[in-house]
């Protein structure tokens, strides 16, 4: 019977495939890095970094790609002491305090003296590998007169529609909550109330928001100051521009760390050192579209240097961020649900 | 036509291997679910704050309300469309329309959302048409309307797919009688179609309700703001951001209670099938010949077809435009192969498990054990109403330390996506098995035909087409799956959906559109091939 | 002039081109016999309006009915099975013969009761078809046929599933109803004994054509090779 033989051959083939893949012998030490999936995709920094690191380490770098930073931390917590991870890469400063409380983070032991960030870096456990400013990005073809300040966006009657992300499911969304809190302090709920009529929709993640924005649903979206660099470099288009506000823009710093109890502590240390080396850092701008953490001189594309820089760089300390995240998210829900 | 009484089966042939396995699988599924919940509840920290009851109540209320409305609209639309399609059994493009119905079920949610927005959004087709005609009207998509449109778009094709074969179970003589007695379309609706709908709608409404109840991305992105928070969002927040496993488990249990409870209530109220025995599967409908019937039917069909195909057309347009920025052929090819391979494996697993569970359920029904049958049906549908995040969390919680899940990622993905596709397999196979049982049970019992022999010679010809549909459906669902494959994070296994998300996360939105188009085209071809190869001649 | 006049009625099914020429007198019982696949049921379907002929004409009582819809034709057909709707009661099933929308007045209900009495099923109004035997179900269908008051009754192997004695009983019933209601009956049967018992004339159909039509005894005793093959004589 056709079905019988079809079934038989499929089972046979699948069995062979599974057997073959597990039979591949590994004799090099394996460094397992947990990160998020846009990092390891073929358009992200992952492949280039892996190639450069493996060229010198005599090891096998394996990525485990999770959905995003929060998923990363959650998986680490789930696995606890039994985690296979040697390095976690992809948390941001909002999550670092919580990560430390798991007891799974080991001191990085890397030399961070050559780092150049708008803020001083004094964390002994986490190493930054890229950073950026959150910003409202607008479509210059649709919006001829964009708001020049945060106040103008929030209070302006004719302010354009904007797409933002949900702080409960997305790091830019959370970043905006922190941003408004830094600027307006306890008056943040009023600020949100003022912003609410301009919000077209609140999406699950950055991809949905940016997709809707480029589809033309709204003239503004919450993204990064470095987003226009992509369009300039790859699409040769000046259409999308980022707004820097006199009140300041909020930062996002992405970090990596060694995992306590990993089987490859030395390899992990050298990976972190590699991550902040010029060789690795020059991969970052055109793959992750964020700023590198050190001065890479001519390797930084000119479009990046030409990007608008805010006068004030806002960033809550990791402890403050962790302490207030819950309360401020609830406040956000209340203000925007009216 | 006599009601099926209990068959006195000889003891030796009592429990066939298939039925036993079916019971076993259902038990395994149920046990896994319970284990997952137990683990999560136990893992909680005592220092966690008390659950925000008011918030949960509001969220639950909204979730129920939008699920109820979505289901109602989907069913109404499905009834109208299916009646029209059943009555007009032959017109050019009918086959294509039915095949296109497979697409909304396959596409990743984000792709569907972009498609819906491309038609109904502020810069979508409708807005463009209004602009061109000069009407000053701005579509207000982001809110409950957006959620309902998206849900109907995703679920209407499924409902049509499940409902249409039911019309084929009406004996040809009934249509001749209707013609002979001069029944008008209203009479036919009351006397023939309503009893049919009464049988089929409960099962279909359960699937759709559960799909809408557990919605996540659609509610968030098209809902317009945090007022449109669903239970799944709250579970996500609990498990990911707050890492409050206990709360997550409690919310997931709440979800199970509502879904399973709803299913139980609907099944209890359901009617036993009343069957026809015609060998000819496409009965000729005399009532479809009149010009008024034709007008009404084709208006409905055209309207429904436009509703379903516009977003797909938008996706095709964007995909073609994005081809210039498409991913490399090598990446696409390897991702396509992974999609096909994992999809087929997942589909085969789901169909096999589904067939065995459906057989066990049929046996339970035969022996009058309605409650047992309902439990089996629920066990099979676990993938639908237990939040996938909870399942994922539970799996890793359970496996940690003992099993290296990343090593067996392929098997894990296949099994998980099979569990997700299982409810759809059951939706197709359960009614099909009931028909087959009514037709063959007595004869087979009389002849002593059981097990493999019976399947090969008797059941397969009758069940061939439903099995083909179930296999095709579950394969394309497994093919487009993101949840299972993203759970394991293995970078050597990248399917088209993961590739798509990679592009979306790296600013390559037009490239992503082209990957989505390729995924849809592949899914359509895959679906059609499986249905053709396994099912033989198509009969709808 | 004959009551039912079928002239040059043409229909193609798969590879078989059928062409029927047949006449039936008013008030007679005509049996239609022949091997399977010959076109017997197709002929009835053509007369009943369930299939559309490609050429030719059908006239009943001098009126050409070739292009009429099934419910407009002066015929009523009884199938072998599935004559009743399983979820409707006996009374409702019979009532469909009076009004397809089941809106029955008190008068109609009296008529239903009368029809059931005619077929010997008094008091069966509230039963469901699932509760009846095969013979009882066919009788309910016959009751409906009576109420439709069509002059031509067609039986498409209607009693084939019943035992010999029961079949005879049914044929008796049909004959008495024929007399009482002045019907003309066409019956397709695979048992020549039925034809011998109940039919005045018999037509033998083979390969889509009426090979012979005439007095039953004559046809059954014919030496025509096709008929002899069929009857096994």
* A126, A173: one domain: no
Q: Is the pLDDT of residue B540 over 50?
A: no
Give the closest-approach CA distance of B404 to chain A in angstroms: 9
C203 touches chain B (CB under 8 A): no
Q: Is residue C14 assigned to a domain?
A: yes
pLDDT mean over A307-314: 92
**Calpha distance C150→B255 (Å, rounded):** 60
Structural domain harbouring C125: 84-149
* A242, A292: one domain: no
Which ipTM did the prediction report?
0.88
* C157, C227: one domain: yes
In the structure, what pLDDT confidence band is assigned to residue B45 with cuts at 50, 70 and 90?
Answer: low
Query: Residue written as tokens 């925000």?
Result: B52
pLDDT of residue A78: 87
Q: Is residue A17 assigned to a domain?
A: no
* C165, C217: one domain: yes
pLDDT of residue C58: 94
In the structure, what pLDDT confidence band is assigned to residue B312 with cuts at 50, 70 and 90?
Answer: very high
Residue B176 and residue C97: Cβ atoms within 8 Å? Answer: no
Structural domain harbouring A120: 26-131+253-305
Q: Which residues neighbour C196 within 8 Å (Cβ) at sequence distance 6 or greater?
A: C216, C217, C220
In the structure, what pLDDT confidence band is assigned to residue B327 with cuts at 50, 70 and 90?
Answer: confident
* C164, C187: one domain: yes
Q: Is residue C168 assigned to a domain?
A: yes
Phi and psi torsions of A32, nearest 5° = -100, 120
* C160, C232: one domain: yes
**Calpha distance B73→B55 (Å, rounded):** 27
Are β-strands C63-64 and C55-60 bridged in parallel, bridged antiparallel, or unpaired?
A: antiparallel
Q: Could you give the dihedral angle defined by the CA atoms of residues B467, B471, B473 and B475, in that order, rounded to the nearest 10 degrees?
A: 180
Query: Residue written as tokens 């203000």?
Result: A335
Least confident of A266-275, B239-248, B413-422, C184-193: B239-248
Q: Is residue A295 assigned to a domain?
A: yes
Residue of C nearest to B194 (CA): C87
Give the closest-approach CA distance of B268 to chain A in angstroms: 36
**Calpha distance C19→C17 (Å, rounded):** 7
pLDDT of residue B348: 96
DSSP string, A192-229: HHHHGGGEEEEESSHHHHHHHHHTTS-SEEEEETTHHH
| Chain A interface mutation, best of B240, B251, B483, B508, highest count of A Cβ atoms under 10 Å | B240
- Whether C contacts B, i.e. 3 or more CB pairs less than 8 A apart, is yes
Report which of residues B170 and C176 the model is more confident about. C176
pLDDT mean over A94-101: 91
Which strands, in side-by-side order, build the sheet including C63-64?
Answer: C63-64, C55-60, C4-13, C16-24, C209-215, C201-206, C29-33, C184-188, C152-156, C75-78
* A241, A104: one domain: no
Here the CATH number for the domain that contains residue A72 is 3.40.190.10
* C143, C217: one domain: no
pLDDT of residue B374: 87
The residues pairing with C187 across neighbouring beta strands, listed in sequence order, are C31, C155
Each residue of B236-291: pLDDT tens digit? 888 888 888 888 888 999 999 998 888 888 887 765 544 444 334 456 788 777 88
Q: Is the pLDDT of residue A21 over 60?
A: no
* C128, C224: one domain: no
Q: Is residue C79 assigned to a domain?
A: no
* C138, C159: one domain: no
pLDDT mean over C135-151: 91
Domain boundary among C123, C149, C175: C149
Q: Is residue A21 assigned to a domain?
A: no
pLDDT of residue A107: 92
Structure tokens at C148: 């439709």
* C103, C216: one domain: no
* C231, C200: one domain: yes
**Calpha distance B99→B101 (Å, rounded):** 5
pLDDT of residue B277: 40
Residue B182 and residue C83: Cβ atoms within 8 Å? Answer: no
Each residue of B2-16: pLDDT tens digit? 344 444 443 334 467
Best CA proximity match to B183, nearest among C153, C149, C70: C70
pLDDT mean over C196-205: 93
Domains and CATH numbers, chain B: 17-42+63-318+325-535 (1.10.3720.10)
% of chain C beyond a pLDDT of 70: 100
Q: Is the pLDDT of residue A318 over 70?
A: yes
pLDDT of residue A11: 66
Each residue of B166-194: pLDDT tens digit? 887 788 888 989 988 988 888 888 888 99
* A266, A123: one domain: yes
Each residue of C13-28: pLDDT tens digit? 888 899 999 999 999 9
Each residue of A174-199: pLDDT tens digit? 999 999 999 999 999 999 999 999 99
Give the closest-approach CA distance of B98 to chain A in angstroms: 25
Question: In chain B, which residues have their Cβ closer than 8 Å to the Cβ of C104?
Answer: none
Global confidence as pTM = 0.85
Contact assessment for residue C213 and residue C33, using Cβ atoms and an 8 Å cutoff: no
**CA triplet A98, A104, A105: central angle to 5 degrees?**
75
Best CA proximity match to A249, nearest among A338, A160, A150: A150
Q: Is residue A274 assigned to a domain?
A: yes
Count of domains forming chain A? 2
Here the CATH number for the domain that contains residue C197 is 3.40.50.300
Q: Is residue A12 assigned to a domain?
A: no
* A184, A99: one domain: no
Q: Is the pLDDT of residue B77 over 90?
A: yes
N- to C-terminal Cα separation, chain B: 24
**Calpha distance B67→A175 (Å, rounded):** 31
What average pLDDT does the structure give for chain C?
90
Q: Is the pLDDT of residue B456 over 80?
A: no
Are β-strands C75-78 and C152-156 bridged in parallel, bridged antiparallel, or unpaired?
A: parallel
Q: Is residue A6 assigned to a domain?
A: no
pLDDT of residue B16: 74
pLDDT mean over B288-295: 84
pLDDT mean over B399-421: 84
* C161, C184: one domain: yes
pLDDT of residue B4: 41
Question: In chain C, which residues have their Cβ closer than 8 Å to the Cβ of B192?
Answer: 85
pLDDT mean over A7-12: 64
* C144, C156: one domain: no
Q: Is the pLDDT of residue A51 over 50?
A: yes
Q: Is residue A239 assigned to a domain?
A: yes
* A105, A87: one domain: yes
Contact assessment for residue C16 and residue C208, using Cβ atoms and an 8 Å cutoff: yes
Give the closest-approach CA distance of B163 to chain A in angstroms: 27
C70 touches chain B (CB under 8 A): yes
* A241, A158: one domain: yes
Q: Tell me B283's DSSP state.
A: P
Residue of B nearest to C99 (CA): B181
* A143, A275: one domain: no
% of chain A beyond a pLDDT of 70: 92
Give CA separation, B321 vs B108, B317, C181, in Å.
Answer: 19, 6, 75
* A144, A275: one domain: no
Each residue of B203-221: pLDDT tens digit? 889 889 999 999 998 998 9
In the structure, what pLDDT confidence band is assigned to residue B389 with cuts at 50, 70 and 90?
Answer: confident
* A123, A149: one domain: no
Each residue of B222-234: pLDDT tens digit? 998 898 999 999 9
- Whether A contacts B, i.e. 3 or more CB pairs less than 8 A apart, is yes
Sign of CA dihedral B234, B238, B240, B246: negative
In the structure, what pLDDT confidence band is assigned to residue B399 with cuts at 50, 70 and 90?
Answer: confident
* C183, C195: one domain: yes
Domain boundary among C108, C129, C149: C149
% of chain B beyond a pLDDT of 70: 91
Of B173, B179, B180, the CB nearest to C82: B173
Q: Is residue C141 assigned to a domain?
A: yes
The residues pairing with C7 across neighbouring beta strands, listed in sequence order, are C57
Count of domains forming chain C? 2
* A85, A42: one domain: yes
- Could you give the 3-state DSSP secondary structure of residue A256? strand
* A267, A245: one domain: no
Q: Tell me C6's DSSP state.
A: E
pLDDT of residue B282: 55
Q: Is residue A14 assigned to a domain?
A: no
Of A38, A84, A196, the CB nearest to B505: A38
Residue B3 and residue C130: Cβ atoms within 8 Å? Answer: yes
% of chain C beyond a pLDDT of 90: 55
pLDDT of residue B3: 40
In the structure, what pLDDT confidence band is assigned to residue A17 with cuts at 50, 70 and 90?
Answer: low
Phi and psi torsions of C8, nearest 5° = 55, 35
B179 touches chain C (CB under 8 A): yes
């Amino acid at each position: 019977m056709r079905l019988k033989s079809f079934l038989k051959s499929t089972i046979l083939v699948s069995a062979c495939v599974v057997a073959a893949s597990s039979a591949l012998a590994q004799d090099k030490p394996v460094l397992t890095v947990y990160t998020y999936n846009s990092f390891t995709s073929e358009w992200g920094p992952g492949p280039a970094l892996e190639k450069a690191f493996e060229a010198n380490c005599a090891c096998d770098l394996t990525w485990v790609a999770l959905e995003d930073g929060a998923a990363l931390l959650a998986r680490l917590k789930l696995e606890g002491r039994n985690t296979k991870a040697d390095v976690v890469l992809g948390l941001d400063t909002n999550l670092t305090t919580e990560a430390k409380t798991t007891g799974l983070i080991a001191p990085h032991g890397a030399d961070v003296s050559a780092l150049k960030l708008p803020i001083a870096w004094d964390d002994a456990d986490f190493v930054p590998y890229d950073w950026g400013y959150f910003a409202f990005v607008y479509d210059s073809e649709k919006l001829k007169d964009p708001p020049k300040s945060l106040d103008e966006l929030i209070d302006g009657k004719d302010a354009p529609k904007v797409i933002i992300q949900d702080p409960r499911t997305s790091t830019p969304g959370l970043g905006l909550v922190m941003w408004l809190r830094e600027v307006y302090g306890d008056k943040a709920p009023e600020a949100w109330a003022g912003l609410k009529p301009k919000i077209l929709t609140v999406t699950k993640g950055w991809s949905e928001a940016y997709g809707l924005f480029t589809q033309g649903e709204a003239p503004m979206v919450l993204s990064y100051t470095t987003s226009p660099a992509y369009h300039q470099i790859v699409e040769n288009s000046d259409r999308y521009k980022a707004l820097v506000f006199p009140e300041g823009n909020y930062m996002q710093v992405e970090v990596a760390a060694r995992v306590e109890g990993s089987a490859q502590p030395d390899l992990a240390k050298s990976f972190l050192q590699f991550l902040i080396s010029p060789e690795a850092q020059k991969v970052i701008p055109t793959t992750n579209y964020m700023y590198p953490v050190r001065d890479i001189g001519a390797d930084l594309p000119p479009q990046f240097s030409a990007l608008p820089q805010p006068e004030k760089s806002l960033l809550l300390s990791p402890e403050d961020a962790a302490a207030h995240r819950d309360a401020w998210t609830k406040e956000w829900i209340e203000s925007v649900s009216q | 036509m006599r009601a099926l009484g209990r068959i006195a089966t000889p003891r030796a042939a009592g429990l066939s291997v298939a039925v036993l396995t079916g019971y076993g699988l259902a038990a395994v599924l149920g046990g896994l679910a319970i284990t997952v919940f137990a683990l999560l509840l136990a893992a909680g920290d005592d220092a966690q704050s008390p659950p925000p009851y008011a918030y949960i109540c509001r969220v639950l209320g909204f979730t129920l309300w939008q699920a109820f409305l979505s289901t109602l609209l989907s069913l109404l639309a499905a009834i109208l469309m299916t009646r029209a399609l059943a009555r007009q059994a032959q017109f050019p493009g009918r086959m294509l329309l039915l095949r296109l119905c497979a697409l909304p079920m396959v596409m990743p949610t984000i792709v569907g959302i972009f498609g819906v927005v491309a038609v109904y959004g502020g810069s979508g087709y409708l807005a463009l048409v209004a602009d061109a005609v000069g009407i000053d009207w701005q579509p207000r998509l982001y809110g409950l309307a957006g959620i309902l449109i998206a849900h109907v778009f995703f679920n209407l094709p499924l409902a049509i797919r499940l409902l249409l074969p039911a019309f084929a179970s009406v004996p040809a003589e009934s249509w001749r009688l209707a013609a002979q007695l001069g029944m008008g379309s209203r009479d036919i609706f009351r006397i023939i179609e309503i009893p049919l709908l009464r049988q089929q709608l409960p099962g279909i409404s359960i699937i759709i309700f559960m799909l809408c109840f557990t919605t996540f991305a659609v509610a968030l992105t098209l809902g317009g703001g945090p007022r449109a928070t669903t239970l799944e969002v709250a579970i996500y927040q609990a498990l990911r951001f707050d890492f409050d496993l206990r709360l997550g488990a409690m919310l997931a249990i709440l979800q199970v209670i509502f879904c399973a409870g709803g299913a139980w209530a609907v099944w209890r109220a359901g009617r036993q099938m009343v069957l026809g025995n015609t060998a000819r599967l496409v009965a000729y409908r005399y009532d479809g010949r009149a010009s008024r019937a034709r007008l009404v039917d084709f208006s409905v069909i055209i309207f429904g077809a436009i509703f379903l195909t516009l977003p797909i057309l938008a996706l095709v347009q964007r995909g073609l435009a994005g081809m210039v920025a498409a991913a490399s052929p090598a990446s696409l090819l390897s991702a396509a192969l992974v999609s096909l391979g994992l999809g087929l494996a997942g589909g085969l697993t789901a169909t096999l498990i589904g067939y065995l569970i459906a057989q066990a359920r049929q046996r339970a029904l035969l022996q009058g054990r309605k409650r047992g049958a309902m439990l089996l049906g629920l066990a099979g549908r676990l993938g639908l109403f237990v939040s996938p995040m909870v399942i994922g969390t539970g799996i890793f919680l359970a496996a940690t330390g003992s099993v290296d899940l990343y090593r067996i990622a392929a098997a894990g993905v296949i099994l998980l996506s099979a569990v997700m596709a299982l409810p759809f397999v059951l939706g197709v196979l359960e009614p099909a098995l009931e028909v087959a049982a009514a037709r063959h049970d007595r004869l087979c019992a009389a002849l002593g035909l059981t097990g493999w022999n019976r399947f090969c010679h008797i059941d397969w010809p009758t069940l061939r087409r439903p099995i083909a549909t179930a296999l095709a459906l579950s394969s394309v669902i497994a093919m487009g799956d993101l949840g299972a494959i993203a759970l394991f994070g293995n970078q050597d296994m990248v399917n088209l959906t993961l590739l798509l998300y990679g592009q979306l996360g790296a600013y390559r939105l037009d490239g992503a559109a082209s990957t989505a188009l390729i995924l849809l085209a592949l899914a359509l071809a895959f679906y059609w091939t499986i249905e053709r190869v396994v099912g033989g001649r198509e009969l709808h | 002039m004959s009551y039912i006049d079928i002239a040059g009625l043409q229909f193609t099914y798969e590879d078989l081109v059928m062409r029927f020429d047949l006449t039936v007198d008013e008030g007679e019982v005509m049996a239609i016999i022949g091997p399977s696949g010959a076109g017997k049921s197709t002929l009835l379907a053509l007369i009943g309006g369930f299939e559309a002929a490609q050429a030719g004409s059908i006239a009943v009582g001098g009126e050409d009915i070739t292009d009429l819809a099934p419910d407009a034709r002066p015929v009523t057909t009884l199938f072998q099975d599935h004559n009743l709707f399983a979820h409707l009661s006996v009374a409702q099933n019979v009532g469909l013969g009076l009004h397809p929308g089941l809106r029955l007045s008190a008068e109609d209900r009296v008529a239903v009761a009368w029809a059931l009495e005619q077929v010997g099923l008094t008091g069966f109004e509230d039963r469901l078809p699932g509760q009846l035997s095969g013979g009882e179900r066919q009788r309910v269908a016959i009751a409906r046929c009576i109420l439709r008051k069509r002059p031509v009754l067609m039986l498409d192997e209607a009693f084939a599933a019943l035992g010999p004695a029961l079949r005879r009983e049914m044929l008796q019933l049909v004959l008495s109803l024929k007399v009482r209601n002045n019907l003309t009956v066409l019956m397709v049967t695979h048992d020549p004994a039925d034809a011998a018992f109940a039919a005045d004339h018999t037509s033998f159909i083979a390969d889509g054509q009426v090979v012979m039509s005439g007095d039953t005894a004559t046809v059954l005793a014919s030496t025509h090779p096709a008929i002899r093959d069929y009857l096994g004589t």
